[in-house]
Amino acid sequence: MSWFSALKAKFSPSNEVVISPSLNEQRIEQYLEQFQLPKSNDALIDRITQLKIEQNTLQLSIFVYESEIDDLQQIHDALSEDLAKAGVETLNLHVVQKKNPQTNNEAKPAKSTSTTKLPPVQDASGNAVHKNQTKQTDQAPSTYQPKNDEAPIKKPAPTQSDVKAHPHIQHVIVVASGKGGVGKSTTTVNLALALQQLGLKVGVLDADIYGPSIPTMLGNEGQTPLIENEQFVPLNAYGMPVMSIGHLTGDGRTPVAWRGPKATGALMQLFNQTQWPNLDVLLIDMPPGTGDIQLTLAQRIPVSGAVIVTTPQHVALMDAQKGIELFNKVNIKVLGVVENMSTHICSNCGHEDHIFGTGGGDQLATQYHVPLLGHLPLNAVIRENTDQGKPSVIAEDVTASHYLAIAEKLKRTIATLPTKQDEKRIF
């Protein structure tokens, strides 16, 4: 299998992509192999990292060095002209910039020839040794004397009042828990679909950088977004625009082993560099905890409110409290609490059992004076449908009415919030 066929098979699965019959893939491969970059004369084939074909559009990801940035338009135009002969009508070129490689001709930093002056050495009796060295040390001039009136530099952290609104999104609602495994992602996708059925324009952003599950639950795992004008085109899931880091990592088995700054940078890129359509609500599925992702979101994304998902279990309530306390500190309004896995009804005998306890969500809502949006049952059908990429609201299973009831309460609450859409801002 050629390099072209290998990349095409990986990023353009034949069962998912429609390719125009007018495209000549053999000639496309030939043009890409023959194309050379203007300054370095490097072969373009050595710079290609991703390749995807859909109808008459070729999406190409390459990397360039800093010295080649000014040639990008020339590269795009020349390559488009060649590929047009092979039936390519649109070339979407996604570029990753790298630092210039160091050559052997570059001068290496000179080694310092100065010797460090050691402090005087004294013997046990206190007599000075190395008098010449002591003299030199005593005569060394001081280069800096700290001033008592110098104040440390203090810069306050950004708050929600400092964050500019998004031009296409009226309300950003985060779905959080403070703890993993309470059904937060399942609740997010079903609430989004329920709000859509109630007439709102809804989108979903998966902020769980380390464990994205939204692509699987919405049935578009393995798909990658197109890139237009250096921005992601969100994928469609049941009529909703959706973006997740899981759409960019491939087959779902690739781990995201990033430290905090890189993970938060990915979140901001997914939010700011996605061509979101006009939305009434963008639901953000938050990762568990109260760490870097949560703080970055509070300081850099305009959030209208938060929905807390918990189970009745005491351990889950403890972490949910920490999540609410965090949102209170960063001035994000908690819109309500959803108690998941409230009760289990045996499919054989119909016996109702409160596996994780009772009244936890009610108690949490009362404690923090926020609405209890509703209770969700522990039912195997929820898991079965989400694993198949068909959430309960779409499958219309026995639990769909619960999500719709919660969505109706949430919609009424959202209607009372001040809009954060900024029509003057452009990206």
Q: Mind spelling out the 3-state secondary structure of 27-67?
A: HHHHHHHHCECCCCCCEHHHHEEEEEEEECEEEEEEEEEHH
Bridge partners (DSSP) of residue 43 are: 36
Nearest to 235 by CA among 252, 217, 220: 220
Quick check: helix, strand or coil at residue 327?
helix
Q: Are 287 and 177 in contact (CB under 8 A)?
A: no
Contacts for 190 with CB less than 8 Å, ≥ 6 apart: 391, 392, 393, 400, 403
Q: Are 385 and 391 in contact (CB under 8 A)?
A: yes
Q: Are 408 and 198 in contact (CB under 8 A)?
A: yes
Amino acid symbol at 225: P
Q: 402 pLDDT exceeds 90?
A: yes
424: left (phi over 0), alpha (psi -120 to 50) or beta: alpha
Average pLDDT over residues 27-53: 85
Convert the pLDDT of each residue in 67-86 to its tens digit.
887 888 888 888 888 888 88
Bridge partners (DSSP) of residue 372 are: 337
- pLDDT band, very low/low/confident/very high, at 30 (cuts 50, 70, 90): confident
Convert the pLDDT of each residue in 377-389 to its tens digit.
988 889 899 999 9
**What is the predicted pLDDT for the residue at 178?**
76
Q: Which residue has 């040794």 as its token pair?
A: 129
Quick check: helix, strand or coil at residue 233?
coil
Cα distance between residue 207 and residue 134, in whole Å: 61
Nearest to 45 by CA among 35, 55, 56: 35
Instruction: Share the mean pLDDT of the chain.
Output: 80
Q: Output phi, psi for 253, to 5 deg.
A: -100, -5
Percent of the chain with pLDDT over 70: 79
Q: Which residue has 């994780």 as its token pair?
A: 356
Average pLDDT over residues 144-159: 58
Convert the pLDDT of each residue in 232-264 to its tens digit.
999 999 999 999 988 887 666 666 667 777 778
- pLDDT band, very low/low/confident/very high, at 130 (cuts 50, 70, 90): very low
